Amino acid sequence: MEEDTEMTDTMTSPQRVRCVLAGELPDRVPVLLQNFQNTAWLAGMNMGAFCRSGAMMAEAQLSAWDRLGHDVIDLENGTAALAEALGCDVEYPDDEPPRVTKPVLASLDDLQRLESIDPKRDGHLPELLLATRLVRQGVGQRACIVGEADQGPFDLAALLLGMEAWLVALVTPELHAGAHRLLEFCSQQALIYARAQSEAGADFVEIGDALASPDVCSPRIYRQFAFPYERRIAGELNERGIPLVLHICGNATPIIADMGATGAALLEIDYKIDHARARAATTAVIVGDVDPSGVMALGSPEEVERRCRETIEALGSSGRFILSPGCTLPATTPPENSAAMVETARRYGQYGPGGLLHEKRAEEHERQ
């Protein structure tokens, strides 16, 4: 290891993350690993059983954290938890995350059939909350926890109604009133579950609205049907002192300013995004955004280090940044690559009073 990059952490993980959320410079860049599938694989667990057991999820996550020492533990079991709790049919494969196989609504007129969730009773939400409590007990205050509040209103609506029917509704003006009623209902479900995750011990909560990405829907559709409800969730959680992570996959560059305007404290972005435009567009904390498949799962530790350094310098020079994969890591991601991400943040993500130390040292070296 190069002498000028050696470092001993001077903050705990929660102190580091709180510093980032406050817009201040921590000792170094924190790391969040989106690795639920990978933790199951590393622990030799059946994915279907893992995703239905809070005890197994906690055991695998704690084992990975003991091994890697990342700052933020991300707890989830895929993208079907709220949909299942509301009555959708869900399949649990042995080697993949759960997936919705049948929506619960035949049309937008069926919304009155649905009742709000009870996170202590419905579907596998109780197991997810158990995982949060067990991980909190296991790490104490040595790491932060993201308790996934599952899908954002836009994505949850698509699961409840069926993707094709949902996309048709978005471009059919006479169906817009029903679409907004469904989004309102979905917003309330996300809020109920987010509050339950916070009560279980999560430091902050996350929603994902991948279908609202510009890779799928136009920015106009996002602003009309996703943004108002994401903003409402962020606002209500902010009033309760619960920071929200908003995740949208794909190239979200055209809507990154809107994502920041929701009031979400952290924006979790994918590797396709334009770094310079994203950093200039928002003062929110950016979480990301190393390619989870092409780099983290299939690259070498050396490539992981190179991409992580580039990402740190592009997005984290002045703080307000947490290093992470751009989306969930594939199950078979080598642990050496996850370790390389954590180590790169420690070696090259150090901050001084004016920003990244390594970046400044490089500038000084060039001047000499």
The tens digit of pLDDT for each residue in 188-226 reads 999 999 999 999 999 999 999 999 999 999 999 999 999
Distances in Å between the Cα of 59 and the Cα atoms of 11, 37, 120 are 26, 13, 21
Are 225 and 175 in contact, with CB atoms under 8 Å apart? no
Per-residue model confidence (pLDDT) at position 103? 98
Name the strand (E) or helix (H) holding 47. helix 47-50
Question: Check: CATH 1.20.120.80 for 10-367?
Answer: no
10 Å CB burial of residue 96 (0-12, 13-18, 19+) is middle
DSSP secondary structure string for all residues of 109-128: GGGGG-----TTTSTTHHHH
Strand partners of residue 32: 72
Answer yes or no: are the C-beta atoms of 64 and 39 closer than 8 Å.
Answer: yes
Q: Measure the CA–CA gap between 21 and 319, rounded to whole angstroms.
A: 9
pLDDT at residue 5 in the model: 46
3-class secondary-structure state, position 63: helix
Q: How far is CA 181 from CA 123, 172, 214, 225, 303, in A?
A: 23, 15, 23, 11, 47
Alpha carbons 135 and 105: distance in angstroms, whole number: 35
CA atoms within 13 A on the CB side of 100: 25
Q: Is 32 helix (H, G, I), strand (E, B) or coil?
A: strand
Cis peptide before 9 (omega within 30 of 0): no
Q: Report the pLDDT value the prediction gives residue 3, as an integer from 0 to 100.
A: 39
Q: What DSSP designation does 331 have? A: T
Taking only the tens of pLDDT, the chain with its 368 residues reads: 343 445 678 999 999 999 999 999 999 999 999 999 999 999 999 999 999 999 999 999 999 999 999 999 999 999 999 999 999 999 999 999 999 999 999 999 999 999 999 999 999 999 999 999 999 999 999 999 999 999 999 999 999 999 999 999 999 999 999 999 999 999 999 999 999 999 999 999 999 999 999 999 999 999 999 999 999 999 999 999 999 999 999 999 999 999 999 999 999 999 999 999 999 999 999 999 999 999 999 999 999 999 999 999 999 999 999 999 999 999 999 999 999 999 999 999 999 988 998 876 555 545 54
**Residue 6 pLDDT:** 53
Q: Which of 115, 125, 76, 75 is nearest to 97 (CA)?
A: 76
Angstrom distance (rounded) from CA 236 to CA 205: 13
Taking only the tens place, the pLDDT of each residue in 167-196 is: 999 999 999 999 999 999 999 999 999 999
CA distance 305 to 295: 10
Alpha helix ranges (H) inside the chain: 13-21, 36-42, 47-50, 54-68, 81-85, 125-139, 153-161, 163-170, 176-200, 219-221, 227-239, 256-261, 275-281, 301-315, 335-348, 357-367
Q: How far is CA 312 from CA 116, 191, 234, 355, in A?
A: 41, 32, 26, 11
Place of tokens 């609506």: 157
